[in-house]
Amino acid sequence: QVQLVESGGGSVQAGGSLRLSCAASGRTRSGYAVGWFRQTPGKERDFVAGITWSVGRTSYTDSVKGRFTISRDNAKTTVYLQMNSLKPEDTGVYYCAADLGRSYPLKKNSYEYDYWGQGTQVTVSS
């Protein structure tokens, strides 16, 4: 079992910044990956960014490239998503998820991830 706990969501104006955290515990191991997904009402969870735990390879969806940065702190077993230049279309519930299988290439589909956090709301107003 792996437990994931997100934090750091909130409400900001367009152009602002937020940093999300995803703290992992339980049966984590080096050969896994963590992804961040965003979900809006009535839609599926969309891949935003991902990182492999051991080497730190990253991947981003096109709409956030240059604005969001994913990173990890091995000692704290925490993954961060730094979100800058936020836009109203970034609004949604952000979930982190763990993929315990082969971690690279990073998976983009939510059904390919094994464990999920509870989600944290991000609201960007114009």
Q: Cα angle at 51 between 124 and 19, to 5 degrees?
A: 30
Q: Is 66 left (phi over 0), alpha (psi -120 to 50) or beta?
A: left
Tokens encoding 24: 């992992």
Question: Tell me, what's the pLDDT at 29?
Answer: 66
Residue 100 CB neighbours (<10 A): 15
* 10 has pLDDT over 80: yes
Residue 98 and residue 113 in contact, taking contact as beta carbons nearer than 8 Å: yes
- pLDDT tens across 15-54, in order? 999 999 999 988 776 668 999 999 999 999 999 999 998 8
CA–CA distance, 90 with 86 (Å, rounded to integer): 6
Of the chain, the percentage scoring pLDDT greater than 70 comes to 97
Q: Do 126 and 88 meet the contact criterion of CB atoms below 8 Å apart?
A: yes
